[in-house]
């Protein structure tokens, strides 16, 4: 499909239309914080935000999610699967967060396909938005991500001043745009060049991190003393894993609330917590902060590459911005390159 444009004052109408037949999830301001939330209309949706406090990962892999319910007094122990989600449009995701969904696909859409994830993934159309600016913590370029591209999204919007360039990237995207074709104008051919110009600041100003040789170096750094030194200031709060768009670790818990009827849910868990790997009987392969800090960086930068062929980081910068003690993955990458 040829590229289109939409006038900025038409975006709200477009969102209203989307919300009529889909659950619309879009960035809004909540108490001064940008978050992806389900909204009833285009009212209040912000598209000039830099990045949301937490990634939209929650709409594919929720922070906590009911899997099924049961009644332990039922002699047959019949279990009832939780319901799926309605058709959704995730609107306004940044290219780094879109890439993170492709990385989550490698985990959940693999052997033992995870239906709880796939149900949401298959029913969600992703509308991404290019970055005209970047935060001081952004380094998506390190992982081959461009502020003006969004592989994995169905539609990509780019802010061109008084209008957005609208690119349909998939058939799903074409179908979505067909619902409001009256709001779209054919691009006059200048769109792509204007996009390059628009995203240039985000490309140029972001942190430049070169990943060349990092994985090979880490292959021989399991016993390196830097893990002990770097982990000393970690307070084990798990914020890095909470805000990370690619972290996928979870726990499975039964909740009865002192009743016979309960449910089994799964919820995000963190490799930074000691209980994560502690087994009944006391077996604990990661007994201190050193092992847990090493696990987080090794998982993103070495193990994920070995297992899935890609880095488990998208350079969104959330963990290094939010870490209370400045345990900074960009600094760690640079340190790995420096140390002997």
Partner 1 sequence: MCECKTREVASPLLPHIATVNKIIQENENIRSYQVTFDEPGILENFGNLPGNCGMLSILGVGEGMISITSSPTRKGMLEFSIAKVGRLTTAISELNEGDKIAIRGPYGNNFPFEMMKGKNLLIIAGGIGLAPVRSLIDYALDNRDDYGRVDIFYGARTYDLLTFKYDIFDRWPKIKDTHVHITLDAPDPKWDGRIGFITQDWVEESCSAENTIPVTCGPPVMINIMLKLFKKMGFKDEDIITTLEMNMRCGVGKCGRCNIGDRYICVDGPVFNLAQIQKLPPEY
- Cβ nearer to partner 1, comparing 264 with 322: 264
Among 68, 197, 213, 339, binds partner 1 (CB under 8 A): 68
Asked if 77 and 70 count as a contact pair (C-beta separation under 8 A), the reply is yes
146 belongs to the binding site for partner 1 (CB under 8 A): no
Separation between Cα atoms, residue 229 and residue 327, nearest integer Å? 11
In this chain, which of 35, 47, 53, 82 binds partner 1, going by CB under 8 A? 82
Question: What's the rounded Cα separation, in Å, for the pair 64 and 122?
Answer: 19
**DSSP output for 315-336:** ---HHHHH-TT---HHHHHHHH
4 lies in the binding site for partner 1 (CB under 8 A): no
63 binds partner 1 (CB under 8 A): no
Rounded CA separation 89/95 (Å): 16
Q: Which stretch binds partner 1 (CB under 8 A): 81-89, 165-173, 184-192, 325-333?
A: 81-89
Instruction: Based on the shown chain and the rule CB under 8 A, indicate whether residue 161 belongs to the binding site for partner 1.
Output: no
Among 113, 181, 188, 189, contact with partner 1 (rule: CB under 8 A): 113
Number of H helices, E strands in the chain: 12, 12
- Please identify which residue in 31, 188, 280, 326 interacts with partner 1, judged by CB under 8 A: 280
| 3-state percent breakdown (helix, strand, coil) of the chain, nearest 5 | 35, 20, 40
Stretch that binds partner 1, among 37-45, 167-175, 198-206, 281-289 (CB under 8 A): 281-289
The answer to the question of residue 222 lying near partner 1 (CB under 8 A) is yes
Q: Which region holds residue 328: left if phi is over 0, alpha if psi is between -120 and 50, else beta?
A: beta
Instruction: With CA atoms as reference, report the closest residue to 90 among 147, 35, 30, 171.
Output: 35
Residues found near partner 1 in the complex (CB under 8 A): 67-68, 70, 72, 76-84, 107-108, 110-116, 118-119, 122, 222, 248-254, 256, 262, 264, 266, 269, 271, 276-281, 283, 285-286, 291, 295, 298-299, 302-304, 306-307
């Amino acid at each position: 499909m040829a590229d289109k444009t939409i006038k900025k004052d038409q975006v709200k109408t477009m969102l209203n239309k989307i919300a009529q037949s889909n659950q619309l999830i879009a960035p809004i301001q909540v108490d001064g914080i940008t978050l992806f939330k389900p909204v009833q209309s285009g009212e209040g949706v912000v598209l000039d935000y830099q990045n949301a406090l937490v990634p939209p990962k929650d709409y594919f892999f929720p922070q906590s999610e009911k899997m099924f319910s049961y009644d332990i007094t039922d002699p047959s122990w019949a279990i009832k699967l939780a319901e799926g989600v309605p058709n959704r449009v995730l609107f306004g995701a940044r290219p780094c967060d879109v890439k993170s969904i492709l990385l989550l696909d490698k985990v959940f859409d693999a052997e033992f396909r995870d239906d709880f994830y796939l149900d949401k993934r298959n029913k969600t159309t992703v509308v991404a938005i290019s970055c005209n600016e970047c935060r001081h913590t952004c380094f998506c370029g390190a992982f081959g991500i461009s502020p003006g591209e969004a592989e994995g999204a169905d539609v990509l919007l780019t802010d061109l001043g008084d209008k957005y360039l609208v690119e349909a990237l998939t058939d799903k995207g074409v179908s979505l745009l067909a619902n409001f074709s009256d709001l779209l104008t054919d691009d006059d051919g200048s769109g792509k060049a204007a996009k390059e110009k628009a995203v240039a600041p985000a490309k140029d100003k972001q942190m430049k991190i070169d990943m060349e040789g990092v994985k090979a170096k880490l292959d021989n750094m399991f016993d390196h003393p830097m893990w002990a030194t770097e982990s000393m200031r970690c307070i084990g709060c798990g914020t890095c894993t909470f805000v990370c768009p690619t972290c996928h670790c979870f726990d499975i818990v039964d909740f009865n609330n002192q009743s016979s009827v309960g449910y089994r849910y799964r919820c995000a868990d963190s490799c930074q917590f000691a209980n994560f790997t502690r087994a009944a009987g006391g077996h604990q392969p990661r007994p201190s902060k050193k092992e847990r800090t090493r696990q987080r960086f090794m998982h993103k930068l070495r193990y994920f590459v070995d297992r899935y062929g890609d880095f488990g980081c998208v350079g969104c910068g959330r963990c290094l911005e939010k870490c209370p003690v400045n345990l900074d993955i960009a600094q760690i990458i640079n340190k790995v390159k420096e140390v002997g």
